[in-house]
A and B are shown apart, each in its own frame.
Chain A
Amino acid sequence: MANMAQAIRMALHYAEERLGVTDVFGEDVGPPLGGAFTATQGLKTAWNSPLDERGIIGCAIGLALAGQRPVAEVQFVDYVFNAIDLLKLAGNACWSSAGDWNLPMVVMTPVGSGIRGSVYHSHSFDATATHIPGWFVVMPSTPLDAYGLLLAACKQDNPVMYLPPKALLRIKGEELIPGEPGDDKQLSRLIDAPQGDRSKWVPQWPQLSDPELPLGKAKVVREGRHLTVVSYGRTLPLCRKAAAELEGEGIFAEVIDLRTLWPYDWEAIRASVTKTGKVLYVNEDTEVTNFGEHLIRRTVDELFYQLLAPPRLLAGKFVPGIGLADTLEMASVPQLPSILEAIRHLHAQEP
């Protein structure tokens, strides 16, 4: 099965062939590298930009204003912070002009920890991204979702922040992307750029199709009756794993992958929490003014009388960075043991 980087690459190929994407650009995005994570190898519209994040976002806005469909990459989300007011501007162009202008653009930028990235390659962005109105915010946790949601993003007439988790980009999926050959080695021969000189290399793209995943739809990735775990991105597979492990202890956790952070699928959360009465939100952004805090507020506002325990948030520690040493990273952002413990704790609570 394809890994997430290959899935993104295939999605961008599909999008430039079939969905009108005109530019895939950013630092190291074009040849020869094809992206720090290899996600943009072999694309016909890929080009390398100056090392200037404000220029990248500004150029994407300009291209979109001119009716193009750009996908702009900031190589790590850690470097997008100096372009926040341009992200705000992209989010308000339609509203401020009372509906005169729209920006069909995607900003793709890998987020989160898990690649031993220390202070400037481990940032999360979900709290900040969901604080900028006018955007769609997407975070896939599987290669198939990464593929399908990127196609949905490229079809949007509004700006979309597409936030693949750094730690999952090289992880293989469990589901086939429509058109993907079943054999990993064959896929690699077709679409992975060779080592060494690539100047003559041309990818052989499989015949891909569009699974037509919608934006704004969550996915119940594991059913359960005792409590609900809502997560996305890097922590989602950990939550799934924790839920599987805890079945042995007689704890049946339902796990929801939010997939789109804005606008998010409240109906999916509501239906599950109404059933279980207990909810744990898990993400790895810093825990103060965290997106999960908003979800807790809404849970309390709308589902208070269905609750059997206080809604919980497990998130990153509110410290200025993620330290490089293994012990420091493990202590800073949720890992399997802390998720297991949080689920056990929530399950043990009785009204």
Chain B
Amino acid sequence: MFRPKLVPSSLEPALLIQIHELMVKARALEERLIQMYRQGHGYFWIGGPGEEAFNVPLGLLVKKGRGLDHDYHHWHYRQSGTLLAMGEDPIGALRQMKNTASDPYSGGRNFAGHFSKREWNVCPVSSPIEVQYSMAPGTALAQKRHGGDGITIVTGGDAGTAEGDFATCLVWSSRKGQELPVLIIVTNNRWGISTPYDGQHGEARISDRGRAFNIRCKTVDGNDPVESYLELKEAIDYVRKERKPFLIEAMVSRLYGHSSASGANFVADEVDCIRRFEDRLVEEGVLTREQMDAVRKRWTDEIAEMARRVREEPLPEPDSIWRHVYWEGGKR
């Protein structure tokens, strides 16, 4: 059984409380999405429960905004915690789950967790597990040329690193004298749908692959929000300042399986980052159990209420399939 190390938190209590609330909010959102799927209010679920301890700090650390002076995001489909930490209203994810016309990310066209938000440089998430690694050098190249301190952040899972696009990202971002400001993230949940880690990986650590390219790299405990915050901060500061890539591998859990295709049932034998964090917050006297239960109840109730609202919203008009095949000059 995994026993957490008891190291004192090195973050301010206010930040710990903020991270905790966002983690709980992200979990409440994912659990509601799963429930919507079960109740027939969505065809498919995929998301990020089990990655909150890493994804929330990431969202708090990014430079949010549109254009080259801000960070560009090339995510996979487990990034709800990051988007919420950036300040997004959770109702958008519920609308995408229900494929309503009001879905702010895809207008009812795409799966849950397939975010897109140009206002914040969140590039469209797509279902292939690797393509974002090929696109990231493009935004990073534009940012390097532009100057300033905007960086590109790309995320994917351990399984996606088997695809050639991961190598593309390492090659294109590390060319001598032409290094690119990319934070290359791999969240390692030790599964590729049903292929266990050992069935795909001969390398000891995925982050080791960065060494061959002279890319700074590190493996961190992505189930620990404090370690994640501190390590991400260091990595992001490095990429921002040095304009060079950094590869970070975060060991995380996959708490509801790959997607609804594998049942989306809670997995009891993996570390639950929220439970672990809460034990620590109690132990350190940052929050009481009652306070944390109240936070959980508040977000569970609030998101359930949002889901009820979303259920009444109309689906996209059939004729809308012809919209946006080509650019119409912006959203709506």
Contact = CB atoms under 8 A, between A and B. Distances in A.
Are A and B subunits of one complex?
A: yes
B171 A55 contact: yes
Contacts of B133: 58
> Size class of A's contact patch?
35 or more
B325 A101 contact: no
Interface in A101-135: 101-102, 133-134
Contacts of A171: none
A97 B141 contact: no
A158 B331 CA distance: 15
Nearest to A102: B327
B126 A89 contact: yes
A100 interface: yes
Contact of B323 (A59, A67, A99): A99
Given A50-B172, A97-B106, A97-B124, A86 B325 contact: no
A92 B326 CA distance: 9
Contact of B171 (A50, A67, A94): A50
B282 to A, nearest CB: 42
A118 to B, nearest CB: 25
B47 to A, nearest CB: 18
A9 B105 CA distance: 39
Contact of A98 (B106, B131, B172): B106
> Size class of B's contact patch?
35 or more
* Chain B CB within 10 A, most for which of A22, A63, A86: A63
B129 to A, nearest CB: 11
A55 B116 contact: no
Contacts of B128: 85, 89
A223 interface: no
A96 B110 contact: yes
Contacts of B124: 93, 96-97, 100-101
B327 A157 contact: yes
B274 interface: no
Given A94-B325, A97-B116, A98-B324, A66 B107 contact: no
Contacts of A64: 138
A321 interface: no
A65 interface: yes
A99 B328 CA distance: 7
Closest 4 CB pairs of A and B: A62-B138, A58-B134, A98-B107, A66-B142
Interface of A: 22, 50, 52, 54-55, 57-68, 70, 85-86, 89, 92-102, 133-134, 157-158
6 contacts: A65-B72, A70-B138, A95-B325, A96-B116, A97-B118, A100-B124
